[in-house]
Structure 1
Amino acid sequence: MANFNTHLVVGTVVTGMGASLCYAAELSSLPLSLSLWMLGVWGSLLPDVDSDNATVLKLLFNGLALVAMAFALFWLASRLSFAQLWIVLAAVFVLVRFPLMGLFKKYSRHRGVFHSLLAVFFVGALSACFGHRVLQQSALVCWLAAAFVAGGYLIHLILDECYSVDLSNVRIKRSFGTALKPFSMQYYGRSLVMGLTAAWLFWLGPPMQKPWLSIAGSISAYVRAVL
């Protein structure tokens, strides 16, 4: 299994190249390209969220706690006093950061459902749906964001599989096949829930035909111009 620094470096380089391509093909502005790059890097670290001691796990739930606080602030700022608002915000942070993270650690297993191609589809659908339904972004922006999060996620799984082959001793480690599996047969119930949730998120997400045609057309036109 590749370590944290390897995932970070490779994810940064590959998704940075992708963001540069989007900018060069005039698919995204410079600020959007930088945002896509950050999403890609984040996606390249996400699969290790199911590791109890992972740095990514703490980062993820710190981020989720801050997002929950932002939504609470948006909805309650005009309804509560200053002191009440701070108490609610503190309670939201503690609830997400500790009990929720504890439940996730209890019911998740490393190299389980989150190390699978199904999880790649899940995080992509979740990203597109969140951008469309919550952030109210255009379909093109939503699917670009989904592509970078899912792409970074896939890079992580590929790296883990590559590190499952010991080239020095020319042998395959026991971990081979646990990262790039289509879904987890060991935790088939959780895989089923993830698959159904991903399909539901995909259905709730933005329309995809025109954005993907636009993405493919812009990139192919840029490649032809370069060549």
Structure 2
Amino acid sequence: MANFNTHITVAAAGAGLLSVLCLQVGLVAPREALILALMGTIGGILPDVDLEHAYPSRIMFALFGIIAAFLVIFSVENDLAIVELWLIGLITFALIRWPIWMIFHQYTHHRGSIHSVVAGALFMFLTVIFSHHVMGKNPFISWLNGFFIFSGFILHLVLDELYSVDFMNSRIKRSFGTALKFWDTKNRPKATALLCLTLVVWAITPESAAFWDTLLSKQTYQIINARMFP
């Protein structure tokens, strides 16, 4: 298994290169390109969110706690005192960072259901929904944000599989096949529940026609080819 530094470095590099491509092709503005790079980097450490006491898990739940705290603060009544708003934010953050984090790890294990393509799709759809309904982005940008999360996620799984092969001694380690998988075949009830949740979340995502038309358009790749080299 690749370590945290490897995952975040490769994810940041890959997301950075891909975001520059999107910027140069004219799909996004500079500010949106920076967000895409951040999304890809986050996606690159998401599969390890179920690794208790590890950096990715603590970082991700702290990030979720901060985002949730701001959402709660900005959704409550404006007539509350500053101290009350601070207290609400701190309580929200603390609940997600510790109790929910502990409960999450009681029902998950590393390289289980979270370490699968289905989980990557779930995180992508959740990102699309958050980007569209909370951040106010249009459907195309929202799906692009989700795509970068998914790309970073899959890159993480591929890296872990590559680290399961000892190319020098031409042998495969016992961990081979546990990283890049569609779903967790060792725990079918959890895997089935995750798949059902993914389908439900997908059903409430905004329309994706513009995103797929751009991604699959021949003209898009003609522009990329024209701008790729000096």
Which residue is 1:97 aligned to?
97
Give per-residue Cα distances to partners, 1:20-57, cap 9 Å, x unaligned.
11011100111101110010011001111111121011
Which residue is 1:201 aligned to?
201
User: 1-side partners of 2:87 and 2:146: how far apart?
Assistant: 35
CA drift at 1:206: 1.2
CA drift at 1:224: 3.9
TM-score (structure 1 length as normaliser): 0.94
Contact 2:166 2:173 in 1 (8 A): yes
Comparing 140-149 with 188-197, greater Cα deviation is found at 188-197
Contact 1:128 1:205 in 2 (8 A): yes
CA drift at 1:77: 4.5
**Percentage identity across aligned positions?**
32
User: 2-side partners of 1:155 and 1:203: how far apart?
Assistant: 25
Alignment of 1:11 with 2:4, yes or no, is no
Contact 1:119 1:194 in 2 (8 A): yes
Which residue is 2:30 aligned to?
30
Contact 1:24 1:222 in 2 (8 A): no
User: 2-side partners of 1:162 and 1:105: how far apart?
Assistant: 26
Contact 2:24 2:227 in 1 (8 A): no
User: Unpaired segments of 5 or more residues in structure 2?
Assistant: none
Amino acid at match of 1:196: C
Contact 1:120 1:150 in 2 (8 A): yes
CA drift at 1:187: 1.8
Amino acid at match of 1:105: H
Comparing 11-20 with 81-90, greater Cα deviation is found at 81-90
Which residue is 1:111 aligned to?
111
Q: Secondary structure at the match of 1:191?
A: helix
Amino acid at match of 1:220: Y
User: 1-side partners of 2:164 and 2:132: how far apart?
Assistant: 37
Contact 1:39 1:148 in 2 (8 A): yes
Which residue is 1:222 aligned to?
223
- RMSD across aligned C-alpha pairs, in angstroms? 1.5
Comparing 88-97 with 23-32, greater Cα deviation is found at 88-97
User: 2-side partners of 1:198 and 1:60: how far apart?
Assistant: 20
Give per-residue Cα distances to partners, 1:153-212, cap 9 Å, x unaligned.
000000000000011221111100001111001121121121111111111111112222
Amino acid at match of 1:56: P
User: 1-side partners of 2:167 and 2:225: how far apart?
Assistant: 38
TM-score (structure 2 length as normaliser): 0.93
User: Unpaired segments of 5 or more residues in structure 1?
Assistant: none
User: 1-side partners of 2:63 and 2:104: how far apart?
Assistant: 15
User: 2-side partners of 1:93 and 1:124: how far apart?
Assistant: 23
User: 2-side partners of 1:12 and 1:90: how far apart?
Assistant: 30
User: 1-side partners of 2:120 and 2:152: how far apart?
Assistant: 9
CA drift at 1:132: 2.0
Amino acid at match of 1:153: F
User: 2-side partners of 1:26 and 1:86: how far apart?
Assistant: 40
Which residue is 1:69 aligned to?
69
User: 2-side partners of 1:88 and 1:128: how far apart?
Assistant: 27
Amino acid at match of 2:126: L
Which residue is 1:48 aligned to?
48
CA drift at 1:107: 1.2
Distance 1:89 1:221, change over 3 A: same
